Structure 1
Amino acid sequence: MQLRFIASPSLQDSNFGMAFLIPWWGYLIIAFLLFIFVYLLRKNINNKKGKLRSSNNGNHPQDPITIQNPPFNVIPGNAQAIGKRAEQQDSFAFSDLNDESFTSEYGVLAILADGMGGMLGGKEASQLAVQTFLHHYLSSSETHHISDKLLSALKEANDSVVQFARQNGMMGNVGTTLIATVVLKDQLYWLSVGDSRIYLKQGEKLTQLTSDHIYAKELDEKAANQEITFEEAANDPQRASLTSFLGLERLEQIDIAKESVPLGKGDAIILCSDGLYGSLTQMEMIEGFCTNSPQDIAENLINLVISKEISNQDNATIALLSIK
């Protein structure tokens, strides 16, 4: 068989050949456009991956709970001891630790209540007050201002305790203290009724933010005005009696922060019942912060209370918020 070679059409006369007529700078433009296309495609893929990662908060049951509350993280700790009492009448709660959308707008809420041990229903009163306060703060949309939300929740909590007393024929014989704090971004808001206390620890300094609503204040004022002697004021058997607590139809004494308190990394907010601060000195409370773990700190302080073996030890409770 004889092979014959057939010449292909001239490049100038074919469509394929036209490609080779593109000037050199045309190839640079094509290469540049391809580069931009690949870059934008990769960027879009990475953005989609980032959105998927951010939708997963990463909190697993075995992980330590950390509340993401920019610019800081807020880490809670808590501990209790029943002391020498027949039942635990202290109650406490934190807002939902995993609700990032709520904490970013309304902050991290901590509440503590101490049922009045000398009255019936102290345990029920403190539990009811904490649960009602927490629910109302989380669900109420009447106001967006933190201080107003705290006051509104307090009113609901007090009404629930008063109603409980009426329903059980114990009006005037049921009561509880209540303190609450909110950490929103780098600001602290707080509220108090009774003699449970809120402390702010900054470095080695411990500052009591609340005032005790007790009869001792009136006695000391009378002594200062020479109506009674200082000895009489100091020895009055009713000196430690509460002058304000949830369970009264009208709450005339309420402590609330007039302005928010600025916070910094390393600060800690302590909510505690009188069973804790009445058993420890402020120096002992500071020394309890010998670890970076808020949970270990809370347990250290309660264990120190227990170790003192005070004969009439009251219920002791601490709820702690550490700023990291």
Structure 2
Amino acid sequence: MEILLGGDQDIGKRNDQQDAFYISTPAFGHTEQTDWNLLVVCDGIGGASFGKEAAQITCETFKSSFMTKDKICDVQEALFQATRYSNTEVIAFMRRKGFRTVGGSTLIAAVIKNNMLYWISVGDSHIYLFSEKGLQQLNEDHLYAKVLDVATERGEIDKAVAQNHPQRDSITSFIGIWELKEISSGKTRLSPGTSVVLCTDGLYKTLSEDEIVEVYDPDPQKWAKRLILNTIQKNTEDQDNVTVAIATAKD
């Protein structure tokens, strides 16, 4: 089964591009023959300068680490080791620069090997599986909203308070946090015609899941470009950086 890859991004209405991404294609310098495909998407947080560099460090470190670990570990373990190493590197960068504020990057990564999808995520970037069953988000958002919703279910706070809490959308886990405890991961077998979509919140906060599916193209590069174009054409006030990377299992 052949895996086709594509990706694109746009700065949106921000002054800096704080997203970073990688797909294992010659366009990204990947010329080595491997039995896997890798996609990585990162969204910097914590201020313009630090966010941009944190995303770039996370993306590059994760890629390099995975390519090394894959030769000696199983895929899932290689993903976890690459995630933790990326966290260490961003923290080290933060210390060298003397940053005292909280900051870092989200991380979403996917590996396709032997018709299996392995993924890992930290933060609130999304990974979707698109198949004949529709579009399904695979990971969970690491947001304070989850804490608030649990408190609501326990009767500890009122639902209205939870829904309108000023920190509801605050990220509770990211690359660069001192203690990285929240990491989501999983694996699933891919069928021909299935696609994997990784994106930052600049995409899914502007386009609905229906709008993501509406512009589907079997060529992942064309699909990615359509998604970016449609996001920008929405002309949303304060549109965030937007990045998408897609892998499609060809029939």
- Structures share fold, TM-score greater than 0.5: yes
- Report the equivalent of 1:194: 123
Cα distance, 1:266 vs structure 2? 0.7
- Report the equivalent of 2:208: 281
- Aligned counterpart in structure 2 of residue 168 of structure 1, from 91, 94, 97: 97
- Distance between the aligned counterparts of 2:82 and 2:218, measured in 1? 32
Cα distance, 1:75 vs structure 2? 1.0
Alignment of 1:1-324 (within 5 A): 72-95=1-24, 97-100=30-33, 102=34, 104=35, 107-116=36-45, 118=47, 120-140=49-69, 143-203=72-132, 205-257=134-186, 260-289=187-216, 291-324=217-250
| Residues 240, 119 of structure 1: alpha-carbon distance in 2 compared, 3 angstrom cutoff | farther
- Distance between the aligned counterparts of 2:167 and 2:62, measured in 1? 29
- Distance between the aligned counterparts of 2:112 and 2:100, measured in 1? 35
Contact kept? 2:46, 2:101, Cα under 8 Å: no
- Report the equivalent of 1:30: none
Counterpart of 2:127, as a letter, is I
- Report the equivalent of 1:68: none
| Residues 129, 173 of structure 1: alpha-carbon distance in 2 compared, 3 angstrom cutoff | same
List 4+ stretches of structure 1 deviating above 4 A.
117-120
Unpaired segments ≥5 residues, structure 1: 1-71
- Report the equivalent of 1:46: none
Contact kept? 1:172, 1:247, Cα under 8 Å: no
Q: Which of structures 1 and 2 has the bigger CA Rg?
A: 1
- Distance between the aligned counterparts of 1:249 and 1:86, measured in 2? 28
Contact kept? 1:165, 1:172, Cα under 8 Å: no
Give the structure with the larger strand fraction. Answer: 2
Give the structure with the larger helix fraction. Answer: 1
Contact kept? 1:83, 1:314, Cα under 8 Å: yes
Query: Sequence identity of aligned pairs in percent?
Result: 39
Contact kept? 1:120, 1:174, Cα under 8 Å: no
Three-state SS of the structure 1 residue aligned to 2:110 is strand
Task: Give me the TM-score of the superposition, normalised by structure 2.
Answer: 0.94
- Distance between the aligned counterparts of 1:216 and 1:118, measured in 2? 22
- Report the equivalent of 1:41: none
- Distance between the aligned counterparts of 2:16 and 2:84, measured in 1? 27
Unpaired segments ≥5 residues, structure 2: none
- Distance between the aligned counterparts of 1:246 and 1:168, measured in 2? 16
- Distance between the aligned counterparts of 1:204 and 1:118, measured in 2? 39
Higher relative contact order (CA 8 A, sep 6+): 2
- Paired residues, what number? 246
Contact kept? 2:46, 2:103, Cα under 8 Å: no
Q: 169-178 or 266-275: which moved more? A: 169-178
Cα distance, 1:119 vs structure 2? 6.4
Please provide the CA RMSD for this pair.
Answer: 1.5
Three-state SS of the structure 2 residue aligned to 1:121 is helix
- CA-to-aligned-CA distance 1:88-128 (integer Å, 9 cap, x gap): 1000012355422x2x2xx1111010001546500000000
Counterpart of 2:237, as a letter, is S
Contact kept? 2:46, 2:102, Cα under 8 Å: no
